[in-house]
Amino acid sequence: MKKLILALLASLALFGSAQANTEGPAWDKFPTKRLTDMAALQNGAKLFVNYCLNCHNAAFMRYNRLRDIGLTEQQIKDNLVLTGVKVGDLMKAALDPKDAKDWLGVVPPDLTLITRSRANEKGSGADYVYTYLRSYYRDDSKATGWNNTAYPNSAMPHVLWELQGQQRAVMVDQKDPHDPSKIAHVFKGYEPITAGTQTQAQYNDSVADLVAFLQWMGEPEQNSRVRLGVWVMLFLAVFTVIAWRLNAAFWKDIK
Amino acid sequence: MAEFKEAPAGAGTLVQASTWLENRFPTAFDAYKVHMSEYYAPKNFNFWYFFGALALLVLVIQIVTGIFLVMHYKPDANLAFASVEYIMRDVPWGWLVRYMHSTGASAFFVVVYLHMFRGLIYGSYKKPRELVWIFGCAIFLALMAEAFMGYLLPWGQMSYWGAQVIINLFAAIPFVGPDLSLLIRGDYVVGDATLNRFFSFHVIAVPLVLLGLVVAHLLSLHDVGSNNPDGIEIKAKRDPKTGIPLDGIPFHPYYSVHDVMGVSVFLMIFTAVIFFAPEMGGYFLEFNNFIPADPLKTPLHIAPVWYFTPYYSMLRAVTDDMVNVFVGLTAVAGVLAFLKGGFKGLWKFAPLVGALVLAVMLKSFDAKFWGVVVMGGAVMILFGLPWFDKSPVRSIRYRPSWNKILYGVFVVVFAVLGYLGIQPPTVVGTLMSQAGTLFYFGFFLLMPWWSTWGEFKPVPDRVTFHAH
């Protein structure tokens, strides 16, 4: 049995993680109210197109679907669509995947379903992205000059740094609770280095809007699905009562 | 051929049309009588008797939604994932059809597990219903194949790696394993060839088998008649004039209207999942499966969908230590059969020789292979249930009271095995699943003995029924 467990553990160590790590600090809660706030979703769409779509695809999503969050086709054409792209086209990144691999070492993942795929025991995928985009800090030991507490050694630099400003992570050396002979770096909080164009509260709002957009994009039907579901449940409740009384009417003969 | 019938003079159009049809297609009219209006079912069916009809409903839902999904799905490794998202976004109501199908898969197993449990507690597999049970077990097996192959089609990370792990299991079979897994995959890794053949099996081959088995299951049931919660044969007490069982009532309208009520409650739960929690917290649609399949990136933790996890736990439970336990149990069984088996002459030594051969085989093949045998055996053992159970009564109602505890423990063990199968392996978890595996097999293999122990309660002549 030991052999098998060791083999399993060894094979686990070999596997790269395709999902967010379950270790590390807890995730902040994404304010879910924004999902039904059209202004927030529209602001999120704007941030997404300006900051994310340069490198990341949203290749399962069409631009004209943004009509669902209250934009007109003309607004989408004028403000969001890149030149030479039709409004009915899929949201593809400007960056060529081959170049991305050369420059960043990885092809940036498609973001259409990013919030659906990143959920785990620590929270929803939206919680994860909301935490991740607010957890960047300066780290000169990294090629990009940035590191992230929610996803250590992230290949992505802090794209939103002009908004947030720069911060550094305060690490405290503590004795490792499992092994007193070792010293562990424990994260204690952030300290601002330079201010951004937004205050901390404004930046949190911007990230919440962006994540609301990502969450909506993961399943554009999610809000109407729930509304329709309420009607279906009401119908079935009435139908169940009728079925119950019909059954009783037939079964009263059976003694 | 039956007599040609004449509609009475002045009869309405409907009666005339029906007479015209009956003269040309009497089989349909006979079938309606045999299976609906003159199929006499016991009047004391309870809650547990909804699940057969519900399983049929879910089968229809899966077939109909499946037909619409195939109109837009692309069985191609480069296009499959995107085509599912196309269904979710660009196909009108595609999201609803897809969620019905994905929720339907889980609902099918919920309903079938409950249906099987009903058969278990009321002894519905016992003579003369052995074939009904066997067809049912074959349906369960076909359903597992159907679900496993269907799960590959969205071509997400879990689809891909789940299929990779399960197909690799076949490679553990001695001598033929590597060739067999190559045959299943159609390639050296799971790829486009695998996707295409799984698609073919999922949409046509297995559904045809499934439908045929369902027909056989129902026909054989209607030949021998339904069991009931009391486990009494209603055909034993008939009306002397009509020959109709005294405790039997026509399936239609009594049980058709009853099942409509069950269906409406079921649909409330089913649609609540579809509209409010289609992912069901990652159990019905796994989070990792929203990442396209990547042959170069193995997920940290690969677990099958929840309905396979009890069996997956049993597979993982078979370690080298567990094989040693099997060897020990084989030795004990061999010696007991030698001493108490009652074999004559040279046959007296057959159990000892058999046990020795089995023990040698256990030690000479890889534990992984025995894990596969255990996983397969856990399903196959269900087929033998009618012959394991030696109890003089069918229903748990009239079995010794401690049987209820035993069946309760069985359910708990099965659920715990399911839970452990979802979790990453741990030392304690492995020990628990080993104990669970032994209990599961012990429950069935020792049934010929324990099912005869204890004090049985008197079985009534007529069914227990309280008018509504």
Chains A and B form CB pairs within 8 A to the count of 137
Residue A210 domain flag: yes
**Quick one: which of B224, B199, B209, B205 has its CA closest to B140?**
B209
Distance, in Å, from the CA atom of B468 to the CA atom of B465, rounded to the nearest integer, reads: 9
**Is the CB of residue B385 less than 8 Å away from at least one CB of chain A?**
no
Give A 8-27 residues with CB within 8 A of chain B: 8, 12, 14-19
- Structure-block tokens of residue B301: 């933790």
Minimum mean pLDDT range among A39-43, A89-93, B258-262, B379-383 = A89-93
For residue B463, the Cα-to-chain-centroid distance in whole angstroms is 28
Residue A26 domain flag: yes
pLDDT along chain B (468 residues), means of 10: 80 92 94 96 96 98 98 97 97 98 98 98 97 98 97 97 93 94 95 97 98 98 97 95 95 96 98 96 93 93 93 96 96 92 84 94 94 96 97 97 97 97 94 97 97 96 87
Residue A12 domain flag: yes
Number of other CB atoms surrounding residue B130 within 10 Å: 16
CATH code assigned at A100:
1.10.760.10
Residue A168 domain flag: yes
Residue A208 domain flag: yes
**Is the CB of residue B86 less than 8 Å away from at least one CB of chain A?**
yes
Residue A29 domain flag: yes
- Structure-block tokens of residue A213: 């957009």
What integer best gives the mean pLDDT of chain A?
88
pLDDT band at residue A171 using 50, 70 and 90 as cut-offs: confident
Residue B91 dihedral angles phi and psi, to the nearest 5°: -85, 125
Residue A231 domain flag: no
Distance, in Å, from the CA atom of B183 to the CA atom of B169, rounded to the nearest integer, reads: 13
Closest Cβ opposite residue B276 in set A62, A116, A226: A226
User: If you average pLDDT over residues A243-250, what whole number do you get?
Assistant: 96
* pLDDT the model gives residue B148: 96
Closest-CA distance, A12 to chain B, in angstroms, reads 6
Q: Is the ipTM of this complex over 0.85?
A: yes
- Give chain A's domain count: 1
Domain that holds residue A153: 2-220
Distance, in Å, from the CA atom of B456 to the CA atom of B255, rounded to the nearest integer, reads: 31
Closest-CA distance, A28 to chain B, in angstroms, reads 19
Q: Select the more confidently predicted residue: B380 or A172.
A: B380
* pLDDT the model gives residue B466: 86
**Is the CB of residue B100 less than 8 Å away from at least one CB of chain A?**
no
User: If you average pLDDT over residues A233-251, what whole number do you get?
Assistant: 97
**Quick one: which of B145, B162, B153 has its CA closest to B207?**
B145
Closest Cβ opposite residue B298 in set A16, A65, A239: A16
**Is the CB of residue B275 less than 8 Å away from at least one CB of chain A?**
yes
∠ Cα B134 B136 B142 (to 5°): 105
Residues 6+ apart with CB under 8 A from A239: B264
Closest-CA distance, A96 to chain B, in angstroms, reads 18
For residue A133, the Cα-to-chain-centroid distance in whole angstroms is 9
Residue A228 domain flag: no
pLDDT band at residue A67 using 50, 70 and 90 as cut-offs: very high
| Chain B residue numbers touching A4 (CB-CB < 8 A) | 319-320, 367
Residues 6+ apart with CB under 8 A from A207: A130, A133, A134, A160
